[in-house]
Chains A and B, each alone.
Chain A
Amino acid sequence: MGIENELKGIFLEESREHVASLENDLLALEEAAGGAADPELVNRIFRAAHTIKGGSGSVGYPELMGFTHTMENVLDRVRQNALAVDRELISLLLSCVDCIARMLDAMDHAGEVPSEAERAALATRLNGFLGGTVAAAQAAGDQAVAVVTALDKGRKTGRERCFRIRMRLAPDVLESGTDPAMLLTELADHGTLAVEQVNLEQVPALDAMDPYRLYLSWDLTLTGHVTRDDVEGVFIFVSEGSHIDITEEAPAAPVNQNSTAQVGALDITEEAPAAAVSVEAAPAAPRAEATVRAETAPRPEAQGGGKGPSSIRVDTQRLDRLVNLVGELVIGQARVAQACLKDGATPEAIAAIESIDRITRELQDEAMGMRMLPIGPTFVQFQRVVRDLAVSQGKQVNLEIKGKETELDKSIIEKIGDPLKHMVRNAVDHGLETPAERRAAGKPEEGTLTMAAYHQEGNIVIEIADDGKGLNAEAIAAKAVREGVIPADHNLSESQVHALIFHPGLSTAQKVTDLSGRGVGMDVVKRNIEELRGRVSIESTPGKGTRFKIALPLTLAIIDGMAISVGPQVFLIPLLSIVESVRPRPGDLKSVSGRDEWVTLRGESLPLIRLHEMLGVPGKACAAEDSLVVVENMGRRYGLLVNDILGQQQVVIKSIEQHYKAVDGVAGASILVDGRVAMILDVAALVRRAFAKARVAC
């Protein structure tokens, strides 16, 4: 990778972080508006824009630099309290941040560059906030650029010229880090430098001498292909207390060669008059002291403790491979253990196996942990979504975020964003009422939307809860009947009716808004979550609000499964889907019209799926006296009839899709502890398949 690409990569990564922080900080600023804005917050916003601007200049992206420059001007005024923050300004700045994000994407070859017209329109609106100060600020900018480019300008001209330079530096010039010897050296770069005179009249007596002050001044002539800009450029940083007079002379015949000293950094002390030698040591003295101090300074106690990077970047594919290998190691280790214990191992061998077992498990935990990321940033990005939605619908919504630090598998984090966004939109759109409606219902005008994440029973649970009007079960049921999804004489419980909102094509919104009514419904949300091997459930109370709970596995790489046998084959059912396992009595199984089968469990009738039929497994059919695994999908329970339940196992998931092709009803494959291969069943897909023609939707 070339250095330019590398710099570009660094720039993109850094700028995207700044874009994310800008968005959040602007929202925080809006919240604080009216009261006194935290100066550090304003400064952070300014700095983020400023850093993007600086970086874009460095990687050669003038359009972005110009754009952020205008934004920075406005932010600078906010920083100086010369501009009040209001909703209009925040909205404009947020649009600018979006524009920057798209410009970054375009640089990364993802998406179109925002058009010049669009950028210009935003810039014009920004300038509107600046008023008359624009021109002045811009002029100052141009001027500054001109000063620096003066350094580059004035390269060799044809004619040889001669400048007489009187160099009277401020006595305290050394403190700024300016070394007179370096100035002489730099002048000498431009031509032939002659020291006409070193003035010693300011040099005090030795006992009165301050080694940190400069007592010397110089009269010089510089001859060569040199311009006035060149000479002035040498002194560009010399402080105010200094007097540098530069006068051009007609090129004279070279002066007495003997008095011409070719000046180098070290030559000065050697060629200067004897009296100056001791004085010239002055600038060098502090340096010497610095060196000595450095050498005698004690070494830091924790060598290497504070320096060097504390983290490194690793390709996620390598992490996946590591997790996979560790998974195989766990299985291999279990097989070794089983084989040894069966043949009667010695106590030492058993102790060794146990120790390896412990280490492998720790190794597995560590490897899994590397893929885990906190959910915080995913949640925080919704502040913007919620704000924009609320503003566009005239609602007041406060987003509360809990459990930011809860960690999830990286691949789950990447895929959960879309379903969450849809649910958040739904909550603001349909769940929360307008301020007037809320007031009428005796609630505070501002609605609360809560996003929370926490651990529960070995899963990660993400909750999206609103304190809105709740689901209208009657309206949902009526619509479902109208659409022919359920029969008019349905006998569904309230929670089963609620679950109908995940049915394709059912939407109870009275009117289609521009945000939620985009044709992507809750059925897609449900399917996305199922693809992550998660489950979604609803709790809703009329007038009080709705709570969606998404249960997700800790990781996608391994799964806790129940091994079951169907004929000669072994399958795994994800533990997350299982409610209980029972051995039914023969009389519990009933058939309706010879086709659909039901099993009665503690008075409740569950649809029955005979797995051997469903999966087309040859051999002994599952009978009523075998085992029943009760699974749950979308608030409904089903009975899966299997031959035997073999026990719970943690297994590493291997993708079938990657090596063969996607198989409906099968989530993946795994190698069991005894070395056999087992398919992992996808309960949601199985249920869909079994009842595809049934009237009751799942």
Chain B
Amino acid sequence: MSNVILIVDDSATIRATVKHTLTQAGYDVRQANDGQDGLNQLKTLSGTGTRVAMIISDVNMPVMDGLTFIRNLKSDATYKFTPVLVLTTESQDSRKEEGKAAGAAGWLVKPFEPDTLVGVVRKFVR
């Protein structure tokens, strides 16, 4: 079972926080700056035979936003069933609904406690 998790966020602070928290919890965390970078990273990872068990993605990002990124994933047979967790600081429910509609498995509102993040990730990857 793969323990590789990809964090896609344009904020270096959030990436570093997620990486640190999940690395301590025993996951192997990879990073991408935006949706397009995320797709590129996934291509590189699958090229080296690494299966990504879960993707955590911000919504509002430059170049390619999170919703477009998720729709791209969901139309690709390789990642169609990979759970995607949407990260958002936008407290409006509409964002979560949009995320769900795009195919996200769940969401997490920033900022989050490390335990909360690990708790949510453990719902999908152990």
Residues of A in contact with B (beta carbons under 8 Å apart): 3, 6-7, 10-11, 13-15, 43-44, 46-47, 50-51, 53-59, 65, 72, 137, 140-145, 147-149, 151-152, 174-179, 182-183, 185-186, 212, 234, 236-237, 239-240, 265, 286-287, 289-291, 293-295, 297-300, 306-307
Contacts and interface: CB of A to CB of B under 8 A. Distances in A.
B16 interface: yes
Q: Is the interface of A mostly helix, strand, loop or mixed?
A: helix
B47 A298 contact: yes
29 contacts: A11-B12, A13-B12, A43-B60, A47-B10, A47-B61, A50-B60, A51-B14, A54-B89, A58-B14, A58-B17, A140-B92, A141-B91, A148-B108, A148-B116, A152-B115, A174-B81, A176-B100, A178-B83, A182-B123, A237-B105, A237-B106, A239-B100, A240-B100, A286-B77, A286-B80, A293-B46, A293-B77, A294-B78, A297-B46
B26 interface: no
B11 A51 contact: yes
Nearest to A17: B12
Given A14-B11, A148-B116, A299-B47, A177 B62 contact: no
Given A286-B80, A300-B47, A175 B74 contact: yes
Contact of A144 (B11, B82, B93): B93
Interface in B90-108: 90-93, 100, 103-108
Interface in B23-81: 40-41, 43-44, 46-51, 54, 60-62, 74, 77-81
Contacts of A294: 46, 49-51, 78
B89 A295 contact: no
A59 B41 CA distance: 27
B84 interface: yes
B46 A57 contact: no
A407 B15 CA distance: 32
Nearest to B95: A144
Given A7-B17, A144-B91, A290 B81 contact: yes
B124 A179 contact: yes
A46 B60 contact: yes
B94 to A, nearest CB: 9
Contact of A289 (B44, B77, B126): B77
A182 B124 contact: yes
A10 B124 contact: no
Contacts of A145: 91, 109
Contacts of A175: 74, 80-81, 103
A371 to B, nearest CB: 24
A178 B109 contact: no
A15 B12 CA distance: 9
Contact of A59 (B13, B40, B93, B120): B13
Contacts of A58: 13-14, 17, 110-111
A3 B21 CA distance: 10
Contacts of B107: 237
Contact of B51 (A151, A240, A291): A291
B71 to A, nearest CB: 12
Contacts of B124: 177-179, 182
B112 A148 contact: yes
Contacts of B109: 144-145, 147-148
A287 B12 contact: no
A286 B103 CA distance: 16
Contacts of A44: 62
A148 B86 CA distance: 13
A643 B4 CA distance: 75
Given A58-B14, A177-B104, A294-B46, 19 more contacts: A11-B13, A14-B11, A44-B62, A47-B62, A54-B111, A57-B110, A59-B17, A65-B111, A148-B109, A149-B116, A151-B119, A182-B126, A234-B123, A237-B106, A265-B126, A286-B77, A290-B79, A293-B46, A295-B49
A54 B17 CA distance: 11
Contact of A290 (B51, B84, B89): B51
Nearest to B55: A177
Contacts of A299: 47-48
A151 B116 contact: yes
B44 A293 contact: no
B89 A10 contact: no
A652 B14 CA distance: 44
Nearest to A286: B81
Contacts of A306: 40, 44
